[in-house]
Structure 1
Amino acid sequence: MRVVPTLFHGIVDYLVGLLVIALPFVLDLTGGPRVVLIILGAAVILYSFLTDYELSAVRFLRIRFHLLLDAVFGISMLISPWLFDVPAARRWPIYFIGALALVLTMITQTRAAGTAATDKTLS
């Protein structure tokens, strides 16, 4: 059941991107974990900026593809603590964000109001 509107999802996208960029500094992570989290956070902001929904500047990526990228992001967040040896006590925020991304992927609507796809008139 897809109950989350794309407008709300867009707000969460930008907030999560910023949070993931800030997370290694808050958790005092260095090296690989820091770099990976900054890259993942920046990627979320970038593909959100390019998605065909209400809070985008360049409406290029379809919502369904965006949700696929969110799923990849969520899985990446879930496996990154293992891959990059994040201390066990500092893993839970990373897991939480990864799980949240996967849940949002499953419950976000797949059509946004006023998108490029719906604004086109059929001739």
Structure 2
Amino acid sequence: MRFLPTKVHGMIDYLWGLALLSTPWLFGFADNSAATWTAAAFGLGAILYSAITAYEVGLLKLLPMPLHLILDGVAGLALAASPFLFGFADRVYWPHVLFGLFSVAASLNTYLEPVLPTGRREPA
């Protein structure tokens, strides 16, 4: 059952991206280039595709919300697996795993369509 409004999801997207971008310095792994670049790439990527998503906080409104949610889910799985795939799990893995799983959870719990000005949702 989906319960998260797209507007809330959108606000979280930008905060999530910024938070992920800051994790190398907040959690002390900025000296590990693979871990740092992975966090930066996924954080910046999320901000960029959020900016082109067709929801209340999107700037260009080109990317349909269902496709945005698929990207969130796939990217979240990839981010969660990245420490093990890219070989930095011995140094750091929790931020990548937790941010990744959060992205998957958000993708599964967000409405597929934004609310219309009338207060109703577009049919999915």
Q: Shorter-chain TM-score: which interval?
A: 0.7 to 0.9
Letter in 2 for 1:74: G
Post-superposition CA distance 1:18-74 (Å, at most 9, x none): 011111222222211111110110000000000000001100000000001101210
Give the distance between the partners of 1:25 and 1:85, measured in 2 at CA.
Answer: 19
Name the structure 2 match of 1:52: 54
Name the structure 1 match of 2:77: 75
Name stretches of at least 5 consecutive residues in structure 1 with no aligned partner: 116-123
How high is the sequence identity, in percent, across the aligned residues? Answer: 30
Give the distance between the partners of 1:47 and 1:102, measured in 2 at CA.
Answer: 16
Kindly indicate whether the alpha-carbon contact (under 8 Å) linking 1:14 and 1:44 is maintained by their aligned counterparts in 2.
yes
Name stretches of at least 5 consecutive residues in structure 2 with no aligned partner: 118-124
User: Deviating runs (4+, > 6 A) in structure 1?
Assistant: none
Give the distance between the partners of 2:85 and 2:27, measured in 1 at CA.
Answer: 17
Name the structure 1 match of 2:18: 18
Give me the CA root mean square deviation: 1.8
Q: CA deviation at 1:114?
A: 4.2
Alignment TM-score, normalising by the size of structure 1: 0.86
Judging by fraction of residues, say which structure has more helix.
1
Alignment TM-score, normalising by the size of structure 2: 0.85
Q: Which moved more, 1:9-18 or 1:86-95?
A: 86-95
Kindly indicate whether the alpha-carbon contact (under 8 Å) linking 1:54 and 1:114 is maintained by their aligned counterparts in 2.
no
Name the structure 2 match of 1:33: 35
